[in-house]
A = this chain, B = another copy of it.
Amino acid sequence: MRNFRMVLQYEGTRYQGWQRQGSTDNTIQGKLETLLSKMTGQKIEIQGAGRTDAGVHALGQVANFHADTQMTQTEILEYMNRFLPEDIAVISLKEVSERFHSRLNATGKTYCYRVINSAIPHVFDRRYVHVVEQQLDIDAMREAAQYLTGTHDFKAFTSNKRGKKSTVRTINSIQIEKCAGTSMEVLGTQDEIRFLYRGDGFLYHMVRIMTGTLLEVGIHKRKPEEIAEILASGFRERAGELAPAKGLTLLEVRYQ
């Protein structure tokens, strides 16, 4: 059996997220598995590095699958891009060692959360950004982000209640940057703020709850110091709102 590693891009808007969900399926994993099974005549199962939620996008999701096929890497890549819907694309595809597993071998991930901080709607990137009209205090959000950086028990920052597995994670950095908005920005009218999260892994909803909490600091509804208490409490109710899915994009998955 050959093992193939893909880098994927997708717009999550019209999908129920990454993870396959039984028969009536509208997921990214489902679309890819259906296509690959058709291509190979075998039942193909895909391993994704991260299970992005419904509505979340990816610029560099990584996934792998095993298949018995004579097709070349280029033939598979071209076949997939020909038949995938236009909101999913395979950026690269390579044969890798049989032991490679996109999720188990991943050592880190980077997520980007995009916020437009303006009352003026942002037409071109509207599917990829969350709009916050109130003025956001970037310095306060950066101060708050310091409390989240490092190794912590992030139990208060996940919606997963089962809680058998460890909720300890390490966040290497949280960058909060003001930037010019859309790529075609000649008029300079937009105010975009990007939250860049680098970590070894993230719990269910963790990036969106961190962002929601930081935004509440940004509008002075909370103080930066509260983050320490929220972390220590372990209570989801103490943290902020879940920020909308559409602002979030999985940028990259890192490996050794």
| Chain A residues packing against B (C-beta within 8 Å) | 7, 9-11, 57, 59-60, 78, 81, 84, 86-92, 110, 112, 114, 119-126, 128, 181-187, 189, 249, 251-252
A251: B residues at CB distance < 8 A = 184, 186-187
A60: B residues at CB distance < 8 A = 186-187
Closest to A192 in B: B183
State A87–B9 Cα separation when bound (angstroms).
Answer: 23
State A78–B114 Cα separation when bound (angstroms).
Answer: 23
Q: Which of B10, B123, B187, B189 contacts A10 (CB 8 A)?
A: B123
State A121–B80 Cα separation when bound (angstroms).
Answer: 11
Q: Is the CB of B184 within 8 A of A120?
A: no
Q: A11-B123, A86-B121, A184-B249 are in contact. List 19 more A-B contacts (CB 8 A).
A: A7-B187, A9-B123, A9-B124, A10-B123, A11-B124, A59-B187, A60-B186, A60-B187, A81-B119, A81-B120, A86-B123, A86-B126, A92-B189, A114-B184, A125-B183, A184-B251, A186-B251, A186-B252, A187-B251
Minimum CB–CB distance for A16 against chain B, Å: 18
Query: Most chain-B Cβ atoms within 10 A of its Cβ — which of A59, A60, A125?
Result: A59
Can you list 11 A-B pairs, Cβ within 8 angstroms, ordered by A?
A9-B123, A9-B124, A10-B123, A11-B124, A81-B121, A86-B123, A90-B120, A91-B189, A183-B183, A184-B249, A187-B252
A249: B residues at CB distance < 8 A = 184
Closest to A74 in B: B119
Q: Is the CB of B119 within 8 A of A128?
A: no
A182: B residues at CB distance < 8 A = 59, 183
A252: B residues at CB distance < 8 A = 186-187
A128: B residues at CB distance < 8 A = 124, 184
Closest to A92 in B: B189
State A11–B187 Cα separation when bound (angstroms).
Answer: 16
A91: B residues at CB distance < 8 A = 120, 187, 189
Minimum CB–CB distance for A199 against chain B, Å: 16
The 5 closest A-B pairs by CB, nearest first: A183-B183, A89-B121, A9-B123, A89-B123, A60-B187
A90: B residues at CB distance < 8 A = 120
Query: Most chain-B Cβ atoms within 10 A of its Cβ — which of A90, A126, A184, A251?
Result: A184
Closest to A182 in B: B183
Closest to A126 in B: B86
Minimum CB–CB distance for A193 against chain B, Å: 13
A119: B residues at CB distance < 8 A = 78, 81
